[in-house]
Structure 1
């Protein structure tokens, strides 16, 4: 644009608008997948195992040490029943209480807690009664007679990343335990489920946590929770469930729905159990709560 004297002028063209880079906030949908903080689960990836009891019986185990002490420490020599590879590093585990299915009583796996690391310098010959020998290189907890050995990296590999997604098929399990032996859990706590690879569970699966609402017996006295009902009402309720029909038209048992109380991500899977990290919870999560996908 030029003025009356023919000189060029700089003016603002209001038909154009200057744009600058800026952030944009997009609300998450209800099915948004939470990221998995690896720093929180690394101790469980590295130091926790859930191993079949029969498998543990086949592993080399500690017979004793070169000193009769209760606590073995760095540089102590341990004698092992089993044939080891010379110069191989071995992780030492303590067998803990079994994980059992609350519905069937089946032993699903045994908890195995990492207690130390040792390196073999004698291979041993179990068939001829000659123990293998290892030297302790690090100790996390007390090493005891009977503790078993695994090659150092077996079951301890940290995934490069987790591909998090919802399972394609419905599934239902339960929270059966906690590595920290707690009774109630919250966000970023780790729990153990009675679901494993046999139930098509995979690392990265995102499951809902649901809690079964308590049953109500509705009789002539009015509705009451099962624990507040009389022995006769409980007997009638149990008989009704057993035979699939109501034995007393004046007493009806109402089975209430389960309600969602949180979410979890599976990060370690075995044959019949898995470890999961709680990522959301509206109420304290408890043993017995359901892990489901409908």
Structure 2
């Protein structure tokens, strides 16, 4: 499934038409580069460009090459100039093939991803943002089968509220943070913390459930939500939003106080703000408000200017909030730092 999704991702991303915008090259860019396993499109873009999300502006699709919109390990990328404008050309590397009895060719190499899918994979289906009523009305764990207070993989639990016509497979969640806009105090959603997977064993009130996998202990009161469709939209096309965005980081996963590369943050921007998956946002360290010790008025304060701290790319969106992956951090990134449209 991942291969199919990634194929779709690259067909959309790399077959985009080239626009005539000026692009800034990385001063240390190579003239050519041979792709190796473990590369990502974002990293390769950064080799050639000052702003990796400008990649579609320089990509040249050669229709004479099989699958020119895909990049595989072994392929060679060359930076050349066409009509005075820099473009990247693809020279297809050697492909490993396997011949089946039907004389069918199968590529063993997979195209490189845009970003490290391992960094965002667990966040595509497990953490959720829900309204308060969703958890309140969801089925819940009422007891364990052996009178334990906590349960784990291989244990059985009893749950109330499981409808007879519902799915047999559930994800177990626990209510977490309340996502609140720091500027308006609006409640944007509630964090649902993933704890386990459970399968229905026998129907009833309560129903008997088998904990098939757990990464945290399952407790009485935990809620059961039907597992989301696994056909996630992974068509991440790195690009700056067409309209100006101005938001904040309102939550950081794993309880860290300083955020670095490939960590996940929650933004107070979502579908209603025009944000889309693949949008790249600049992160700005919020300027500190300090007292002005020079003026006579001891109550006089001044807010220092925001400082650029990195970039983040949005990969999952809800109505009022979104998840973003920090792609680059030039300074320590903190809770409530600002995010704005990348240049």
TM class, shorter-length: 0.7 to 0.9
| Paired position in structure 2 for 1:24 | 32
| Paired position in structure 1 for 2:221 | 146
| Paired position in structure 2 for 1:179 | 253
| CA distance in structure 1 between the aligned counterparts of 2:161 and 2:196, rounded to whole angstroms | 18
**Alpha-carbon contact 1:86-1:120 (below 8 Å) kept:** no
| Paired position in structure 1 for 2:76 | none
| Paired position in structure 2 for 1:246 | none
| Paired position in structure 1 for 2:138 | 59
| CA distance in structure 1 between the aligned counterparts of 2:125 and 2:275, rounded to whole angstroms | 20
| Paired position in structure 1 for 2:298 | 233
**Alpha-carbon contact 2:282-2:308 (below 8 Å) kept:** yes
The equivalences for 1:112-131 within 5 A come to 112-124=192-204, 130-131=205-206
Once the 2 structures are TM-superposed, how far is the Cα of residue 191 of structure 1 from its aligned partner?
A: 1.0
Once the 2 structures are TM-superposed, how far is the Cα of residue 275 of structure 1 from its aligned partner?
A: 0.9
| CA distance in structure 1 between the aligned counterparts of 2:257 and 2:179, rounded to whole angstroms | 15
TM-score (normalizing by structure 2):
0.63
| CA distance in structure 2 between the aligned counterparts of 1:74 and 1:175, rounded to whole angstroms | 34
| Paired position in structure 2 for 1:97 | 177
| CA distance in structure 1 between the aligned counterparts of 2:215 and 2:283, rounded to whole angstroms | 33
Q: Which fold has the larger relative contact order, with Cα–Cα distance below 8 Å and residues 6 or more apart in sequence?
A: 1
Rate the CA distance shift 1:123–1:228 in 2: closer, same or farther, 3 A.
farther
Structure of greater Rg: 1
| Paired position in structure 2 for 1:169 | 243
Q: What is the count of residue pairs matched by the alignment?
A: 241
Once the 2 structures are TM-superposed, how far is the Cα of residue 31 of structure 1 from its aligned partner?
A: 3.2
Correspondence for 2:320 among 268, 272, 279? 272
TM-score (normalizing by structure 1):
0.73
Query: After superposition, what is the alpha-carbon deviation per residue over 1:38-95, rounded to whole angstroms, capped at 9, x for unaligned?
Result: 1111122232112222221121111112221122133433222213347711111111
Once the 2 structures are TM-superposed, how far is the Cα of residue 269 of structure 1 from its aligned partner?
A: 1.0
For structure 1, which runs of at least 5 residues remain unmatched after alignment? Answer: 1-21, 125-129, 216-224, 238-252
Instruction: Provide the secondary structure at the position in 2 that maps to 1:103.
Output: coil
| CA distance in structure 2 between the aligned counterparts of 1:231 and 1:151, rounded to whole angstroms | 62
Once the 2 structures are TM-superposed, how far is the Cα of residue 143 of structure 1 from its aligned partner?
A: 0.2
| CA distance in structure 1 between the aligned counterparts of 2:231 and 2:293, rounded to whole angstroms | 50
Query: For the aligned residues, what is the CA RMSD?
Result: 2.7
Query: After superposition, what is the alpha-carbon deviation per residue over 1:248-284, rounded to whole angstroms, capped at 9, x for unaligned?
Result: xxxxx5x554332210000111121111111112111
Rate the CA distance shift 1:107–1:73 in 2: closer, same or farther, 3 A.
same
For structure 2, which runs of at least 5 residues remain unmatched after alignment? Answer: 1-29, 34-44, 56-113
Rate the CA distance shift 1:227–1:183 in 2: closer, same or farther, 3 A.
farther
Correspondence for 1:261 among 309, 333, 336? 309
